[in-house]
Amino acid sequence: MTDQLLGSAEDLERILAITGDDHGEVVDHVRSHYDTIFTWDYEKGARPALNKLYEKAKTSQWNGATDLPWDTEVDPLTTALGMAGSDQRMPLIRKAAEEAGSPMSKWTQQEWAGFAVESLSWRLSQFLHGEQGALLCTARIVESVPWIDAKYYAATQVMDEARHVEVFAQYLNTKLPTSYPVNAHLKALLDDILVDERWDMTYLGMQIMVEGLALAAFGFMHQLTEEPLLKQLLRYVMSDEARHVAFGVLSLQEYYDGLGQAEIRERQEFAFEAAVRMRDRFLQQEVWDRMGLDVREMVKLLMGLPQEANQFQQLLFSKIVPNCKKLGLLDAGDGWLRQKFGELGVIQFEDWVDTGEEYAMLDEVAKDREAAASS
């Protein structure tokens, strides 16, 4: 096992071969074929866990326009530097840049500050694009899942995802000086999810993998930032995301119990490929390009960082691994996915709490309402 989240040198060409195709178009077409499924069984509550989640979702809705303090003054530089100061990779990146003779090693404090703002804008931009991916995928789940309880819940998630797109777009447009197009690796993953015609692959790719990593990423940013608007925005989004991941776990557990080994192996391989794509997106190639640095050299530099520099990226998988274990994907067959997650350096999270057990703890909207009622 390599135990390296950022991969090895032989991955360099594969990573760089995936590039963005943004030419300024506003609309991007992804062609796919899948079944739209009606069900004439309207018995609500046939799957009690999904019905419970649906009832929770109905009482946990919030309004992005009125429930967030949009009049908050935000200083992008202060916000970005506050989070950058907590990034354990930065000293290691600076040291590696000096050893490699990278132009980054000659940056002034002003240039480093600019980089912090660009990185923050890039991260929030990718959150925004990922949320639109979730919006499209969940709308598809409403059409394609065969159970009425799942259709009911997925419909509430469509509303959640629309709200998430709205608030991230508004924050980027009104509080930060710049934004970024979708990262090529993230876009490739979203395309893979949308092109696959099997409804459970939409669940696995979006609800378990993309949403699971997003939930962890939102949690880390929420801990690091002191900016009050962003902190509350992330807190509310996290309360929704935890339900979304739980929805995926609850739905797929039942379905995967009836699949054969060959079909399970396909799901294991899909989950691993999704993990690799999500790992590669954090190389933030778009930022290096905008900052005028050689993208190849910067990706190579990041891939060569010591293992301790990868702890943050590893922790982003802390929601994904236990959920894959709960679905039986980790050890199915010959334990192929366990081995692959070991190679990514994330298998140590297998016994962390799965999201099916924690969504109630993250329901910040309900907590706020309870606090208001008791005051």
- For residue 1, what pLDDT is reported? 31
Domains of the chain, earliest start first: 9-15+39-374 (1.10.620.20)
Measured between alpha carbons, how far is 137 from 144 in angstroms, rounded to an integer? 10
Measured between alpha carbons, how far is 298 from 300 in angstroms, rounded to an integer? 5
The pLDDT > 90 percentage for the chain reads: 66
- For residue 148, what pLDDT is reported? 97
Q: How confident is the model at residue 315 (pLDDT cuts 50, 70, 90)?
A: confident
List the single range of 26-30, 248-252, 315-319, 345-349 with lowest mean pLDDT. Answer: 26-30
Measured between alpha carbons, how far is 138 from 153 in angstroms, rounded to an integer? 10
Mean pLDDT of the chain: 88
Measured between alpha carbons, how far is 189 from 173 in angstroms, rounded to an integer? 25
Burial class of residue 233 in the structure, from the number of CB atoms within 10 Å of its CB (0-12 exposed, 13-18 middle, 19+ buried): buried
- Residue 43 tokens, joined: 């018995």
pLDDT tens-digit profile of 96-140? 888 888 899 899 999 999 999 999 999 999 999 999 999 999 999
Measured between alpha carbons, how far is 150 from 53 in angstroms, rounded to an integer? 10
What are the b/e assignments for 200-210, b being 16+ CB within 10 Å?
Answer: bbbbbbbbbbb
pLDDT tens-digit profile of 319-358? 899 999 999 999 998 999 999 999 888 999 999 876 655 6
∠ CA 101-7-334, nearest 5°, is 170
| Three-class DSSP labels, 210-278 | HHHHHHHHHHHHHHHCCCHHHHHHHHHHHHHHHHHHHHHHHHHHHHHCCCCHHHHHHHHHHHHHHHHHH
In the DSSP assignment, the letter for residue 203 is I
Is residue 186 within a helix (H) or strand (E), and if so which, with residue range? helix 184-195
